[in-house]
Amino acid sequence: MNVAVMGTGYVGLNTAVSLALHGHQVVGIDVDEEKVKQLKQRICPIYEPGLEEAMRSMMDQGFLRFDHTLNGEAKDAEILFICVGTPEAEDGSANLAYLFAAVEEVREAYKRKPSKRGVVIKSTVPVGTGDRVAGLLGDCKELHVISNPEFLREGSALQDALNPSRIVIGAESPEAFSLLDELYKGFAAPVVKTTRQTAELIKYASNAFLATRISFMNELARLSTVLGTNIQTVARGMGLDSRIGPEFLRAGLGYGGSCFPKDTIALLHVGKQHGVALNILEQVREVNRTQPAWCVQLISERLSGLRGKRVAVLGLAFKPDTDDIRESRSLAVLHQLLQEGAIVSAYDPISTETVKKLYPQVEYARDIYDALTDADAALLATEWKECVNLDWQKAKAAMAQPVLFDGRNAWSSDLVKQYGFSYQGVGRS
C-alpha cells in the first residue's frame, strides 16, 4: 500500500521504516524542511539501535522516501498516519496543536485529490480526540478516521514496530477496519478491534499501569531498605505468580522518558475533566517525583553529608540505548546533588552534550574512569552496558572512596564486595 507518515520523531520514523520493511511504499512527512533534508541525505536524526541502517536500506531499495508536504511524493497515499508530538501543556493536558495542524493538512490534501483514505492517529491523544478529528473531517466523505495507538519502547522501538505485542484498531466503519486489515496483513500479532475512544483509553491505561508497577516497587523498596530485606528477591517471588508476571517490577530511580510522565498526567487531567478522581495514579506520580531525592539521601547518609563530596553519576539518558533525556531521573539526581552542595562528575556515551546545556556546572567526563577519578561515591543512574560491566579493580583505584550506589539494581553486590566496595542498591540490604 502507499503510506504517508506525518511526523518523523521516535514514533513516526520507526513506524515509517517498519512499514517499508514490510513491503509498503512509505513517505515520511515533516514540516521541518532542514530535518527532511537531513533524512534525504540518509542521516537519522535520532539514536535508536538498528534504525539508521534499516532506514538507509529501505531508501536504497526504493521503499522509503521523505518530503515536507503531502502535495508531493505522498499525494497518492491510501493511509495517512499522524505521528506528531502531543506534549504536556501547562495545565497537564495534552497539547494537540501539532495534531490539528496535521489534520488541516490532510483536509487540504483531500480537497486537491478526493479519494478513499484512512487517517490513522498513532499519536497518543486524550480519549475523544479521534471523534473530534472525525467531526472536523466530516465533510470529507471518503476519509476514515482510525485510532491505532503505538506501544513502542525506546531502545527497542524498531523491533517493537516490526513485531508488535498487539495491534489496536479503533474505528467506526467496516471500510476503516478493512484498510488496516490490508495494511497489517504481514504482521503476526493479536488484533483488538474496538471504538476510537476505547482504543485511545487502552493506550493511556497501558502506560499508567506500567508506571504504577514501577512506583509500587519503589515504595516497597523504601520499606525493604528499612526492614533489611531484598526487593529483587521480593520481585522475583511476586513475578512467578502468573497473575502478576515479572515485567516492570524493578525498583530503581523511577520512570522517565517521553511517555509515562506525560501520559499519566494527561490521564489525570482527563479524569478531572470528567469528575473522576484517579487517586492511585496521583500517588504513582508522587512516588516517582520523590524517588531520586530519596536515593540521594541514602548517599548523603553514607557519606555523612554531600557538601564538598565528589559524586560520579553514570548514565544520563532516561534509559540505555537511547539519547532521550526527557524526564530522565538522572537529571533529577543531578539537580538534587548540586542542591546538596556535591561536586558532580557525569558520564553518558550519547547524551552528554544535551545535558551539558542544562547543567553546565557538572563536570562531564570523556569516559567512565575519568568520571570516577577521586569520587567519594559512584551512582549508577542508567544501565548502559559499559556502565554496568566495569573493570572493578580499575574503578576502585580511581575512586577516593570505594562507595557504590546502584540506582538501577544492575550491579552484582557479591562481585563488587569482593573488590572491596561498599554497596547500596535500591531496596537491597
Catalytic residue annotation: 259
Question: Which of 293, 324, 36, 371 minimizes the C-alpha distance to 157?
Answer: 324
The DSSP element (H or E) to which 63 belongs, if any, is none
Q: For the chain, how far is it from start to end, CA to CA, in angstroms? A: 56
Query: Alpha-carbon distance 202 to 149, whole Å?
Result: 8
Question: Which of 72, 75, 11, 86 minimizes the C-alpha distance to 40?
Answer: 72
Q: Partners of 80 in the beta sheet?
A: 4, 119
Cα angle 62-33-158, degrees, rounded to a multiple of 5: 50
Question: What are the start-end ranges of the H helices in 184-259?
Answer: 196-227, 231-239
Question: What are the start-end ranges of the H helices in 113-195?
Answer: 129-136, 157-162, 174-183
Strands of the 310-314 sheet, one edge to the other:
363-364, 343-347, 310-314, 377-380, 403-406, 422-425
Query: Alpha-carbon distance 195 to 131, whole Å?
Result: 10
Query: Alpha-carbon distance 43 to 287, whole Å?
Result: 39
Contacts of 61 (CB under 8 A, 6+ apart): none
The DSSP element (H or E) to which 39 belongs, if any, is helix 33-40
Residues found in the chain: 429
Let me know: does 109 contact 75? Beta carbons within 8 Å: yes
**31-51: buried (b, 16+ CB within 10 Å) or exposed (e) per residue?**
beeebbebbeeeebbbbbeeb
Q: Is 136 exposed, middle or buried (0-12, 13-18, 19+ CB in 10 A)?
A: middle
Query: Alpha-carbon distance 87 to 96, whole Å?
Result: 8
Q: How far is CA 217 from CA 210, 235, 384, in A?
A: 11, 8, 22
One-letter amino acid of 305: G
Other Cβ atoms closer than 10 A to 419: 15
Query: Alpha-carbon distance 187 to 199, whole Å?
Result: 19
